[in-house]
Structure 1
Amino acid sequence: MMITASPEVAVFIEHHGVARIFLDQEVLGKAERQRDLDTHQAAHSLEEISAVAKVLRQAELMVRLNPLNPHSSEEIVAALDCGAQRLMLPMFTSRREVERFLSLVDGRAPVTFLAETPQALVRLPHWLPMLQAGRDEVHIGLNDLSLGMGLNFLFEPMAGRLLDPAAELLTSTGIRWGVGGIARIGQGELPAETVLGEHVRLGSQWVILSRAFHQGASSAQQLLESLDFPAELGRLREAEAHWRQATPGELLANQQQLARSAFRLGSREVDT
């Protein structure tokens, strides 16, 4: 998945294998929660959603809405009217919220539930049966999850293997799922290739391409000039292929390396 509001960029990355274009309307509480994080915090307009929807031919268009609020029904209708093919609910904590959102959507689109609160992760066995396999999905968000746990580095939940039970449950129930985002190969405080290996070990089925893959580009030419997007995506696919051929022991060794690095980075934040 990749976030972009540029129709030209959306067409370009769709052509090069990005399966889902992600637009974001979440604003309620987000700036306050993530004020110290380098995360996407700009709300996309309905006009931007409509413009991207008109040019896509293969990739799915997903729109993240606000957490449940008195205007959720109107937000759902507006996003669908503008061409959203999938909706995402962030910052929920309970089965009741999942039930309420599904009721409001009323089957008009599949839903991806963004499990990014400690409550949502712990209560996964309670609300997961409400989802429809092959249609609804789960994405585990590491930024807010780590904040909610009082941790200093977003990959610490992954390092502590706190996602293992959720991964096993999601896979066993046939619910498609993914987790977090990823930088370009060779970049990131935690090497992207190490993170990708943990995706393979856990069984994650997608990842969000970070801003390192587009750097705010508004045209295909900028994508080619600034970083050669097709080549970077190819490097990511090569790393994925490597890990898919790895043994369980090699994947576990990679997890242990991720843990050492992530905990060191988290401790560094405490020390400073």
Structure 2
Amino acid sequence: MYITNDENVAKIADKHGVDRIFVDLEQIGKQERQGGMDTVQSKHTLDDVKKIKKCLNNSELFVRSNPIYQNSKEEIDIIVKNGADVIMLPYFKTCQEVQTFVDYVGGRCKTCLLLETPEAVEIIDDILDIDGIDEIHIGLNDLHLGYNMKFMFELLADGTVEYLCNKFKHKNITYGFGGIAALGQGTLPAENIIKEHYRLGSSMVILSRSFCNASQITDLNEIDVIFKEGVGAIRDFEKEVNDHLAYFEDNRQLVKQIVKQIVDGK
């Protein structure tokens, strides 16, 4: 998945094999949670949903709504009308919020939960009993903040992500977690994270801002090269990983070691 509301960037990502273009409407509460951090605070709009839908030929349109609030039904109705293939609910803490979201979508497109609060983790079994959940993505950024951790991938190293993935797998719900930079980049290298996705049976990941920071790169030809080479390299690496499933356990131990070094250094 790649987050953008820029039509030209969306067309490039679509052309070079990004599975989903991600329009991010979430604003409610995000500044309070992540203010002062170097995180993306999107200013996407409902009109962007319609605009991006029109320029996609291969990719699905993935839209993150706001958390449940007084105008959620109206917002979700417009998201559906404007062409979303999947709607994501962020930052929920209760079964009621999830049930309300599922009811508002009403089967008109796929639903995805962004699991990113300790409160939701505590009641995950009850949440998974709700009918109408198609996918779940573990939001490592907010979730690690909720647990007062220093580094988001501590959740991968300490078994939390694996614990949750096993629950999703048992319910036959599609799942993913976190984001990745381009190969060869990232404090925890993207290669190690991709191997963990395969080990855990994940099928979703967000291409992070560091993969292609389209807010700073204005040359569309340069962006085209980044996506052509970057996505191609990831796909080639995925084939390699799929052919060498036996080395997952060694990678898991390496991830734990690197995360410990990073946390100890903070």
Identity, % of aligned positions: 38
CA displacement at 1:125 relative to structure 2: 1.6
> Given residue 12 of structure 1, which amino acid in structure 2 is its aligned partner?
I
Which residues in structure 2 correspond to 1:117-128 (within 5 Å)?
A: 117-128=117-128
* CA distance in 2: counterparts of 1:16 and 1:131, whole angstroms: 35
Change (3 A) 1:47 1:247: closer
* CA distance in 1: counterparts of 2:218 and 2:59, whole angstroms: 18
CA displacement at 1:219 relative to structure 2: 6.5
**Counterpart in 1 of 2:258?**
261
Give the conservation status (yes or no) of the 8 Å contact 2:66–2:90: yes
CA displacement at 1:218 relative to structure 2: 6.1
**Counterpart in 1 of 2:72?**
72
Query: 3-state SS of the aligned residue for 1:228?
Result: helix
TM-score with structure 2 setting the length: 0.93
TM-score with structure 1 setting the length: 0.91
> RMSD of the alignment, in Å?
1.7
**Counterpart in 2 of 1:191?**
189
* CA distance in 2: counterparts of 1:36 and 1:55, whole angstroms: 34
* CA distance in 2: counterparts of 1:162 and 1:47, whole angstroms: 37
Unpaired stretches in structure 2, ≥5 consecutive residues: none
CA displacement at 1:55 relative to structure 2: 1.4
CA displacement at 1:83 relative to structure 2: 2.1
Unpaired stretches in structure 1, ≥5 consecutive residues: none
Query: 3-state SS of the aligned residue for 2:129?
Result: helix
> Given residue 175 of structure 1, which amino acid in structure 2 is its aligned partner?
I
CA displacement at 1:141 relative to structure 2: 0.6
Change (3 A) 1:219 1:48: farther
Give the conservation status (yes or no) of the 8 Å contact 2:89–2:113: yes
**Counterpart in 2 of 1:105?**
105
Give the conservation status (yes or no) of the 8 Å contact 2:180–2:211: no
Give the conservation status (yes or no) of the 8 Å contact 2:11–2:55: yes
**Counterpart in 2 of 1:244?**
242
* CA distance in 2: counterparts of 1:81 and 1:193, whole angstroms: 38
* CA distance in 2: counterparts of 1:105 and 1:33, whole angstroms: 26
> Given residue 60 of structure 2, which amino acid in structure 1 is its aligned partner?
E
> Given residue 257 of structure 2, which amino acid in structure 1 is its aligned partner?
R
Give the conservation status (yes or no) of the 8 Å contact 1:65–1:89: yes
> Given residue 13 of structure 1, which amino acid in structure 2 is its aligned partner?
A
CA displacement at 1:58 relative to structure 2: 2.3
2:176 to 175, 178, 196: 178
* CA distance in 1: counterparts of 2:227 and 2:20, whole angstroms: 16
CA displacement at 1:120 relative to structure 2: 1.7
**Counterpart in 1 of 2:54?**
54
Query: 3-state SS of the aligned residue for 2:58?
Result: coil
**Counterpart in 2 of 1:211?**
209
Does residue 3 of the first structure (1) align with residue 41 of the second (2)?
no
Give the conservation status (yes or no) of the 8 Å contact 1:8–1:218: no
Query: 3-state SS of the aligned residue for 2:265?
Result: helix
Query: Which runs of 4 or more aligned residues in structure 1 lie more than 4 Å from their structure 2 counterparts after TM superposition?
Result: none
Question: Mean alpha-carbon deviation: is it higher for 17-26 or for 206-215?
Answer: 206-215
Query: 3-state SS of the aligned residue for 1:151?
Result: coil
Query: 3-state SS of the aligned residue for 1:91?
Result: coil
2:154 to 153, 156, 164: 156
* CA distance in 2: counterparts of 1:218 and 1:125, whole angstroms: 45
Give the conservation status (yes or no) of the 8 Å contact 1:6–1:219: no
* CA distance in 1: counterparts of 2:218 and 2:112, whole angstroms: 26
* CA distance in 1: counterparts of 2:35 and 2:114, whole angstroms: 19
* CA distance in 2: counterparts of 1:267 and 1:74, whole angstroms: 46
Query: 3-state SS of the aligned residue for 1:206?
Result: coil
CA displacement at 1:170 relative to structure 2: 1.3
> Given residue 158 of structure 1, which amino acid in structure 2 is its aligned partner?
L
